[in-house]
Structure 1
Amino acid sequence: MAILVIGGTGKTGTRLAQLLMAAGHSVYSPLRGVKFDWLDSSTKDAPSNAAAANNEQIGAVYLVGPPIVDMASVLNPFIDLAIEKGVKRFVMLSAFQVTKGQPPMGVVQEYLDTLKVDYCTLRPSWFRENFFTFDLSFNALTSEKIETRNLLVVGPELLTCEQIAAIFTTVLGRNFLFKRVSQEGMSQHLRHEFHPGVTEMFSALNLIVTTGGEEAIYKLENRYVGTCTLLDFIRANKEAWIR
């Protein structure tokens, strides 16, 4: 089966594309020279055209959306087009705090729920690095049946920022401090980095964290729990933080 990996040169897509190719799947992604840009409508047919040139049809798509709040405005029409061209399965990278119906990715998830296609939403907690999401996306794209449509991806322990600072202090031998700021202080900081829509989104996510929302989500049953603790990870990679 041919598979389209959007974000194929990114943190999750690169490793995912490599795994898929090693397993014998035809992969279409920027890693293979296929141009695709969510915000450039002239590229929307490039993946299916590339597959057709090889007498193949894309049957599954790995979705990583663009950094915009109204993600559904570009993903939903693309999903419709992909279905028209024969795609039967979608695997979307979302986020731990984003529930179905909530912007930005949750609105797309809600739309997928209305369609007669297989799909899976992967929701890692505060995703920054690709620790094991690529394995989950590989399985979701290639397995005979998707077992769950909404999979939370978490580590083996729930830590406060103060505890994280203490772990860094212990392993690296220098003092790390976490400074707690107000919700307004966080919003002001974000305004220097992002445009207003994204600032509001991250402010809302931060409010979920500070009011105990993550603890509640962490206790849900539809979870994939990793085995590497933060302590183990920092010990294994301590050279990256040594100046």
Structure 2
Amino acid sequence: MDEQILVTGGAGKTGQLVAGQLARRGIAARIATRRPCATGQVRFEWNDPATHAAALESVTGVYLVAPTDQTEHLAVMRPFLERARTQVPGRLVLLSASSLEAGGPMMGEVHAWLSAHAALWTVLRPTWFMQNFTTQHRQAILEEGCLYSATGDGRVPFIDAADIAAVAAEALTDSALPSGEHVLTGPEALTYDEVAYAVSARIGRAVRHCRLSANELAARYAGFGIPRSYALTLAGMDEAIAQGSEDRITMEVERITGRPANTLAGFLESQRDLLPVRS
């Protein structure tokens, strides 16, 4: 059977990159999406089991990105997972997060399920994405010169989503890789003050870390239309960072891919279009 990988979340930060990594290896990626509009895409909805069979037909592995509009992930993903574990001969690779242990909330429950039921599985637990500075933080950086957080002096080993995708591609194509979890980080743990300094140096304008309390950050999120309960959860993640929850570095990216993880400086250099230098 020719290799063909189903990529859920195919339009997301890592999904697009995983598909690209597979293509460079000559492996077909089937993109699961609610609204397929191109060759290689298939209609898929977690909440619609009628879409699952066609999505899984003839695939040899699956990249799993949990639905972003749900918090009880296992409940909504389980019908698909049950079918995938019996129909897919290769590996199921779940994108989780460094902050979520197996058996914990959200993707942690899915992690535990895969460990108990899947024959070949990998759970990727990356820390915070460097891409956050070119997406949700970008407007405040460019318009206000502020990088808002409630992280205090806490450190984060930010990771390039391209490095996550590279590890995912290895896991999806290397059957010799043992089942298990991998905490993925970049090569340096940085405070938001240090990130603000690096961004300032890159774009030629002053950017500072605008420190908020967890409640102030939650209110800021709520002002963007985020439900208050979820806003509090997000702010709580920053508070955990302030207490040291992300202050660690692993070598998993280099161990699995054979090359070092990207640095923040390298990432910012590649983002000239999104973070332009002041003229």
Q: Quick check: TM above 0.5?
A: yes
**Corresponding position of 2:43:** 35
Q: 1:18 to 1:173 in 2, by over 3 A?
A: closer
- Structure 2 length normalisation: TM-score? 0.74
* Runs of 4+ more than 6 Å apart: none
Give per-residue Cα distances to partners, 1:154-186, cap 9 Å, x unaligned: 111111001111112223221111111111112
Percentage of matched positions with identical amino acids: 27
1:191 aligns with 2:222: yes
**Corresponding position of 1:155:** 186
**Corresponding position of 1:124:** 126
In structure 2, how many angstroms separate the alpha carbons of the residues matched to 1:122 and 1:208? 20
In structure 2, how many angstroms separate the alpha carbons of the residues matched to 1:149 and 1:196? 34
RMSD: 2.3
Give per-residue Cα distances to partners, 1:117-166, cap 9 Å, x unaligned: 11111122213533222211111011022246111221111110011111
Residue correspondence of structure 1 range 132-151 to structure 2 within 5 A: 132-147=163-178, 149-151=180-182
> Cα offset for 1:116?
4.1
In structure 2, how many angstroms separate the alpha carbons of the residues matched to 1:150 and 1:66? 20
Q: 1:187 to 1:80 in 2, by over 3 A?
A: same
Q: 1:128 to 1:36 in 2, by over 3 A?
A: farther
Unmatched tracts of structure 1, length 5 or more: 52-56
Amino acid at match of 1:43: T
- Structure 1 length normalisation: TM-score? 0.84
Amino acid at match of 2:63: Y
Amino acid at match of 1:190: Y
SS of 1:91's equivalent in the other structure is strand
SS of 2:208's equivalent in the other structure is coil
1:228 aligns with 2:262: yes
**Corresponding position of 1:61:** 62
Q: 1:72 to 1:89 in 2, by over 3 A?
A: same
In structure 1, how many angstroms separate the alpha carbons of the residues matched to 2:87 and 2:179? 25
Q: Could you tell me whether the CA contact under 8 Å between 2:64 and 2:92 is conserved in 1?
A: yes
Unmatched tracts of structure 2, length 5 or more: 33-37, 132-160, 255-259
> Cα offset for 1:42?
3.2
